[in-house]
Amino acid sequence: MAKVTRKIGLSLGADICWPIAFTEIMKRLELAIPQGRNTVRFEVERMTIDPFDIREPRRYDLVIDRLTHWYHTRREWIKKAVILDDVYVFNNPWAVQSMEKLTTYAGMVRLGFPVPETWLVPPHSYDPMEDLQVTLQRYARHFDLGAIGKKLGYPMFMKPYDGGGWRAVSRLEDESALRESYDQSGKLVMTLQAAVHPFDRFVRCIGLGPQTHVVLYDAKAPLHDRYTMKADFLSPSERALIDGMTLVINAFFGWDFNSCELLHKRGTWHPIDFANPCPDSQVTSLHYHFPWLIKANLRWAVFAATTGRTVKELEWRRFFAAVEEGMTLEERLEALLPIVHERFDTERFGEFCSKHLAHLDEVTHEWFGTDDARDAVRKKVAALFPPHEVDEFTEIFFDRIQRWRADEPVGSAA
Ligand SMILES: Nc1ncnc2c1ncn2[C@@H]1O[C@H](COP(=O)(O)OP(=O)(O)O)[C@@H](O)[C@H]1O
Ligand SMILES: [Mg+2]
């Protein structure tokens, strides 16, 4: 058998902790996976930023990207590498580039998901541009903001159409707050969205390939306590619904790694923000849930790189054709999930993991008890917290990971 090495490139920005965990656990796995006539081994490398010749030889088999959504040099490298070299990348860079929050609402409205009522309003002001005045004079009509407010009802949310990281999000209680916020919104293009109010549960569902993990989220808690450690907050049918919606969203938009926010009100789970294709991956927010992310990421990366997975074209029409007027949400998911699982190759992935990654649980469990793991946590804490809090928060996050180790003894399902 010939030995081949699959090279995984990490396209990183401010990330500190997860690349350390990913790389160290990958080493400890000592993978040598038979694939056809070859034995596949893995190398993980952090990508550097350099000039590149578009005809350069293939440098990576798979790239896990954290930069495309804002760093255009890397985005262009990735797109050329997909086109020229069939590099597999999480996430599809074209989808990340073009699918803003409002576009994602539109896609899921068409599939019949209970997205709250959403409007877009033209911006309050503009940067000067050559044809701007003539365009606005001819076509921009006065509109009655108060009337849109009445339609949506209060409270409502105003947020940028391309949002992220709670930037410029406001909750508006009445018409005067709406008018004031709009007047202050400047050049931002804003959406207005009916609030899911009152809601009794807020979850974040992280999707990585066909794998999902749901966390009860407390948006009012301090940052380090927002991902709660609560269990048993969903019935099995709710869990299936949330997993299903998240997987449909991710398969529809071509995102391997995304986080979907849903709010529950009177029997309905409303997806409110699911354009997060560079989701929070830091131990300082995920803590207890961090090892899940590392394992899911490793499984999907190893599977995709071993099997030579390539970036798939999007297939909106197939999704649209699968649903019909009058279907319940459950029926819609039942009709859509076969497409999702085909796209994610879920069955083959499951078999692959049982066969080649059965030791991942044990290796991960062990590594997260080491001083190296504690040191990785500390590095991230030191980057975010003031010096006098570094010891305290390192212990808080590391302790939560130890709690995960106790709750999930080796051999239990991930
Ligand atoms: N329609 C809504 N109903 C209730 N809460 C909302 C709604 N939209 C946003 N929020 C609240 O505002 C927060 C930020 O809005 P979100 O759409 O997630 O923007 P971002 O992309 O900046 O994270 C959400 O996490 C939630 O707490
Ligand atoms: Mg959000």
Structural domain includes residue 370 = no
φ and ψ at residue 185, rounded to 5 degrees = -80, -10
Flag whether pLDDT at 19 surpasses 90: yes
Same-domain status, 62 and 21: yes
Structural domain includes residue 270 = yes
What is the best residue among 96, 158, 261 to mutate for testing ligand 1's pocket, by most ligand atoms within 8 Å of CB? 261
Same-domain status, 232 and 320: yes
Q: What is the mean pLDDT of residues 334-339?
A: 98
In whole angstroms, give the CA distance from residue 200 to residue 169.
21
CB of residue 254 inside a 6 A radius of ligand 1? no
Flag whether pLDDT at 124 surpasses 70: yes
CB of residue 221 inside a 6 A radius of ligand 1? no
Q: Which two tokens stand for residue 174?
A: 């009445």
Give the pLDDT of residue 164: 81
Selection from 263, 189, 268, 281 nearest residue 219 by Cα: 263
Same-domain status, 139 and 204: no
**Which ligand approaches the C-alpha of residue 166 most closely?**
1
Q: How many structural domains comprise the chain?
A: 3
CB of residue 157 inside a 6 A radius of ligand 1? yes
Cα 261 to averaged position of ligand 1 atoms, centre (Å): 8
264-312 tens-digit pLDDT: 999 999 999 999 999 999 999 999 999 999 999 999 999 999 999 999 9
Which of 68, 98, 128 is at the close of a domain?
98
Torsion (CA) 93, 263, 332, 345 in degrees, nearest 10:
40
Question: Looking at residue 325, which CATH number applies to its domain?
Answer: 3.30.470
Give the pLDDT band (50/70/90) at residue 411: low
Q: Which domain holds residue 45?
A: 2-98
Structural domain includes residue 401 = no
Give the pLDDT of residue 414: 47
Same-domain status, 90 and 145: no
Cα 273 to averaged position of ligand 1 atoms, centre (Å): 6
CB of residue 116 inside a 6 A radius of ligand 1? yes
Which of 98, 132, 149 is at the close of a domain?
98
3-state secondary structure of 325: coil
Q: Say if CB 284 and CB 98 are below 8 A apart.
A: no
Give the pLDDT band (50/70/90) at residue 163: confident
Q: Up-side HSE of residue 283: CA atoms within 13 Å toward CB?
A: 33
Q: What is the mean pLDDT of residues 183-201?
A: 97
Sheet holding 118-121, edge to edge: 118-121, 190-194, 156-160, 170-172
In whole angstroms, give the CA distance from residue 10 to residue 59.
12
Q: Say if CB 281 and CB 293 are below 8 A apart.
A: yes
Give the pLDDT of residue 322: 98
Same-domain status, 134 and 68: no
Torsion (CA) 27, 30, 34, 39 in degrees, nearest 10:
70
Q: Say if CB 249 and CB 271 are below 8 A apart.
A: yes
Structural domain includes residue 55 = yes
Flag whether pLDDT at 394 surpasses 60: yes
Please give, one letter per residue, the 3-state secondary structure of the chain.
Answer: CEEEEEEEEEECCCCCHHHHHHHHHHHHHCCCEEECCEEEEEEEEECCCCCCCCCCCCCCCEEEECCCCCCHHHHHHHHHHHHHHCCEEECCHHHHHHCCHHHHHHHHHHCCCCCCCEEEECCCCCCCCCCHHHHHHHHCCCCCHHHHHHHHCCCEEEEECCCCCCCCCEEECCHHHHHHHHHCCCCCCEEEEECCCCCCEEEEEEEECCEEEEEEECCCCCHHHCECCCCCCCCHHHHHHHHHHHHHHHHHHCCCEEEEEEEEECCEEEEEECCCCCCCCCHHHHHHHHHHHHHHHHHHHHHHHHHCCCCCCCCHHHHHHHCCCCCCHHHHHHHHHHHHHHHHCHHHHHHHHHHHCCCHHHHHHHHCCCHHHHHHHHHHHHHHCCHHHHHHHHHHHHHHHHHHHHHCCCCCCC
Cα 193 to averaged position of ligand 1 atoms, centre (Å): 9
Give the pLDDT of residue 410: 82
- Name the residue at shortest CA distance from atom 21 of ligand 1: 164
In whole angstroms, give the CA distance from residue 146 to residue 143.
9
Cα 193 to averaged position of ligand 2 atoms, centre (Å): 13
Q: What is the mean pLDDT of residues 164-186?
A: 95
What is the best residue among 190, 272, 274, 278 to mutate for testing ligand 1's pocket, by most ligand atoms within 8 Å of CB? 272
58-109 tens-digit pLDDT: 999 999 999 999 999 999 999 999 999 999 999 999 999 989 999 999 999 9
- Name the residue at shortest CA distance from atom 7 of ligand 1: 195
Give the pLDDT band (50/70/90) at residue 166: confident
Give the pLDDT of residue 363: 98
Same-domain status, 42 and 155: no
Q: pTM of whole model > 0.85?
A: yes
Structural domain includes residue 361 = no
Flag whether pLDDT at 409 surpasses 80: no
224-277 tens-digit pLDDT: 999 999 999 999 999 999 999 999 999 999 999 999 999 999 999 999 999 999
